[in-house]
Amino acid sequence: MEVGFIGLGAMGILMARNLCTAGHSVTIYNRTRSKAETLVEHGAKVADTPADACKGEVVITLLSDDAAIEDMVFGSGGVLNALQPNTVHVCMSTISAALGERLAAAHAAAGRGYVSAPVFGRPDAAAAAKLTIVAAGKAAAIAQCQPVFDALGQKTFVLGEEPVKANITKIGGNFLIASVIESLSEVFALVRKYDIEPQTYLDLLTSTLFSAPVYKNYGSIIVEERFEPAGFKLPLGLKDVRLALAAGDATNTPLPIASLVRDHLVSAMAQGYEDLDWSVVSRIVAQNAGLE
């Protein structure tokens, strides 16, 4: 397939490379052109403008936040105006429910295909093409994108024809991960106070009650304090918890745990940890317990 890819962050560069490896014809646009050029040896073509990446069957945008997506899609020379009649725009970013609804409405009004398809997985999963993809949009549009999803992930969950459902699913999932990080941080602080070895405690937890990857992966990062290089930087985690709170506010859904996690993430930002993995919030919890 002819695929456009816009945005080469920590995840995007790995995903675009996997599309090349899978045999797709990939045209890449990135604001920092030199980053896109690193994929030329894998068969990618480098676009001079975002519009140049919107001429195939699918164009993916994977940018950091609402502002970046709004500028790329609705700005002068942006994606929406450049889409060809048979091109499906796939937004794989974690964005607000409000922007998700706006994007769906704008594409529908323009008569262009649109699918929301954020992903679950850290860079190691992206590199191994083992992401979990959450897709929502018109059935025909998702079917057109499926070969691309197959090259990027191990499973695609289809949530229906309203793209915002994928956005909320992603926001909810990231909030749950943040809650796991918070609870792990608290329990490690507690067991340390009783001179219980955190690694031993983690081994017990993850081999019995909590064997899910999120506990194993983040538990190990916290115990070993492997906060860099960041798999998911602190400001992005804070953004996603704020997205959960905004979605809760919009629907009168209280999220008291999200408020607590947000405050700890803000404290971590105040300590200058913005370049570290968001699990560095465990340091804040430890400091509050007098352990740091």
For residues 52 and 62, what is the distance between their CA atoms, to the nearest angstrom? 16
For residues 185 and 187, what is the distance between their CA atoms, to the nearest angstrom? 6
Element containing residue 135 per DSSP (H, E): strand 131-137
Q: Is 55 a catalytic residue?
A: no
Annotated catalytic residue within 170, 193, 233, 239: 170
Structure tokens at 20: 């090349």
The contacts of residue 38 (CB under 8 Å, 6+ apart) are 13
C-alpha distances (whole Å) from 87 to each of 68, 77, 100, 132 are 21, 16, 19, 23
195: left (phi over 0), alpha (psi -120 to 50) or beta: left
Burial environment of residue 106 by CB neighbours within 10 A (0 to 12, 13 to 18, 19 or more):
middle
Q: Which residues carry out catalysis?
A: 170
